[in-house]
Structure 1
Amino acid sequence: MSKILPKLNSSLQDFIKEQQLFFVATADIDGRVNLSPKGLDSLRVLSPNRLLWLNLTGSGNETAAHLLGVNRMTLMFCSFAGNPLILRIYGTAQTIHAADPEWEELYAHFPDLAGARQIFDVQIESVQTSCGYAVPLYDFVEQRSRLLTSFEDKGPEGTKNYWAEKNTTSIDGKPTGILESTPQ
């Protein structure tokens, strides 16, 4: 049976820390809904009603484009080991870029990861838990390193060039704001 709560309690915060994978969903007022799997050491719970997600460079930049139009975000975690549980976090998010004054303070919560693109500062409005009985059991092997090594090899200038080529607009043609907010 699902439960809706106004914030993350300590056991849900512990559950999040144990997860190797989470999913993020956003949508603008029109166009496609984006749902992406996320991993690596890229999420921090700051309080029962606030979390940070360090968004690493990828082939698209849908979340940033969507948040310029509608700042709603849903994150979902599934237990793939141990007791079954699905956790959904509903909230609003603000995009923080390296040129923004908050960047240094917020980025300090994370390891220095190559390809760091934005931080999404999520204000949690509610959380929902549900049983997760149909989620299969999986054994975690390791995080993949290819994304990190790819952007380590590209370096800061190569990463900015990649953003210019692949990350300036969404698949629906909406701007992402990535180059307008990149330090020169």
Structure 2
Amino acid sequence: MGKRFERIEPAHREFILTQRVFFNASAALEGRVNVSPRDVASLRVLDEYRVVYLDLTGSGNETAAHLRVSPRLTLMFCAFTGAPMVLRLYGHGRTIAHHSREYAELLASAFGGSETPGARQMVMLDVEMVQTSCGYNVPFFDYTGERETLRRWAENKGQDGLKQYWREKNTASIDGFPTGILEED
């Protein structure tokens, strides 16, 4: 049976940070639901009610578009090794623009000033509920390493090339909702 919590407890934090991947789910009021895999190395648990992750450049920017329309966001973590468990963080999300003061402050305070090549924005989740469930049906998987493809691609593009890519591929969702990625504060 699933259990519900009002905040991220210390055991939840430990579980989150020992996973290799998480999934984020978002949706506008209409259109497609988006579910995307993310690298836990890009995520920080700021406190018992907030998490943030560096959102890396991708072929789309669905989460950013959805959060502009409806702030609902869910992050899901699954144990692929060890004891079975699924943990979901439910709440309201928002993007933090790459060029903003808040981004720079969070990059310094939460990420040690180190930005992953290809980072395009951050996604902040204000957690309203934590749910754990058994995860008995989640299979075991062996971790064999990180993919370097995105990092190399982003380094080769450079910041100007990334901004051009964002202009071409990341300004609207597949349903046509604007992402705000190039808007000024």
TM range (shorter): over 0.9
| 2:55 corresponding residue in structure 1 | 55
Question: Which one is further off, 3-12 or 107-116?
Answer: 107-116
Give the letter aligned to residue 96 of structure 2: I
Q: How does 1:5-20 map to 2 (within 5 A)?
A: 5-20=5-20
Contact 1:107 1:119 in 2 (8 A): no
Shift of 1:107: 1.5
Deviations 1:14-47 (A, max 9, x none): 0111111000000001110000011162100011
Cross-structure match for 2:142? 139
The aligned residue for residue 163 of structure 1 is 166
Distance in 1 between residues matched to 2:31 and 2:121, nearest whole Å: 22
Whether 2:132 is the aligned partner of 1:126: answer no
| Runs of 4 or more above 6 Å deviation | none
| 1:135-174 Cα shifts (integer Å, max 9, x gaps) | 0011111111111110011000000010011101100011
Alignment TM-score, normalising by the size of structure 1: 0.96
| 1:143 alignment partner, SS class | coil
Equivalences, count: 182
Structure-2 residue corresponding to 1:37 = 37
Distance (Å, rounded) in 1 between the aligned partners of 2:86 and 2:106: 27
Distance 1:63 1:24, change over 3 A: same
Q: Which AA in structure 2 matches 1:9?
A: E
Output the aligned Cα RMSD.
1.1
Q: Which structure's residues are more often helix, by fraction?
A: 2
- Percentage of identical aligned residues: 51
Deviation (angstroms), 1:181: 3.5
SS in structure 1 at match of 2:98: coil
In structure 2, C-alpha distance between the alignment counterparts of 1:70 and 1:146, rounded to whole Å: 32
Residue ranges of structure 1 left out of the alignment (5+ in a row): none
1:148 corresponding residue in structure 2: 151
Report if the CA contact (8 A) 2:22-2:40 is conserved.
Answer: no
Partners of 1:174 and 1:51 in 2: how far apart?
A: 25
Give the whole-Å Cα distance in 1 for the aligned partners of 2:63 and 2:131.
21
Contact 2:55 2:122 in 1 (8 A): yes
Please state whether the residue corresponding to 1:169 is helix, strand or coil: coil
- Contact kept? 1:40, 1:143, Cα under 8 Å: no
Deviation of 1:180 (Å): 1.2
